[in-house]
């Protein structure tokens, strides 16, 4: 399981995830900061990454594509930093590993987590 951290999230996520033995890359180390989401999406498809993001665009891209991958984790909280939701992200990665490997959109909210199996 490898995560591709979207530019809307801090590059600190990559270090946080790596320190917990979860391979990850922040988009800023791969391509232009202003790359369109479809470019980041295609990179995730080509390299079999799970997209970790703070916005809803990747869910929309998945819905229009009809694909069952890449999986997407959406952090829909006010403070999407490792310090604030790091433990929740680690829990999601552990608890829903099967779903993420098969294809899912997982949304982390302040009070709950929602899982949607792909394709939509």
Give residue-wise pLDDT tens across range 85-103.
999 999 999 999 999 999 9
Q: What angle do CA 46, 82, 15 make, to 5 degrees?
A: 55
Beta strands in 62-103 (DSSP E): 72-75
* Average pLDDT of adjacent 10-residue blocks, the chain of 120 residues: 96 97 97 96 97 94 92 97 98 98 96 94
User: Within its chain, how far is the Cα of 37 from the centroid?
Assistant: 12
Other CB atoms closer than 10 Å to residue 9's CB: what's the count? 19
| b/e map 27-53, b = 16+ CB within 10 Å | beeeeeeebebeebbebbeeeebbbbb
The model's pTM is 0.96
Domain borders along the chain are: 3-117
């Amino acid at each position: 399981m490898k995560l591709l951290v979207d530019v809307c999230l801090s590059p600190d996520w990559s270090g946080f995830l790596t320190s917990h033995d979860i391979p990850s890359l922040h988009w800023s180390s791969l391509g232009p900061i202003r790359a369109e989401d479809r470019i980041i999406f295609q990179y995730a498809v080509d390299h079999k990454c799970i997209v970790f993001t703070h916005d809803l665009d990747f869910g929309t891209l998945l819905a229009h594509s009809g694909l069952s991958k890449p999986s997407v984790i959406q952090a829909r909280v006010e403070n999407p930093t490792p310090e604030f939701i790091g433990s929740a992200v680690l829990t999601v990665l552990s608890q829903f590993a099967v779903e993420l490997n098969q294809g899912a959109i997982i949304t982390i909210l302040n009070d709950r987590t929602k899982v949607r199996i792909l394709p939509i």
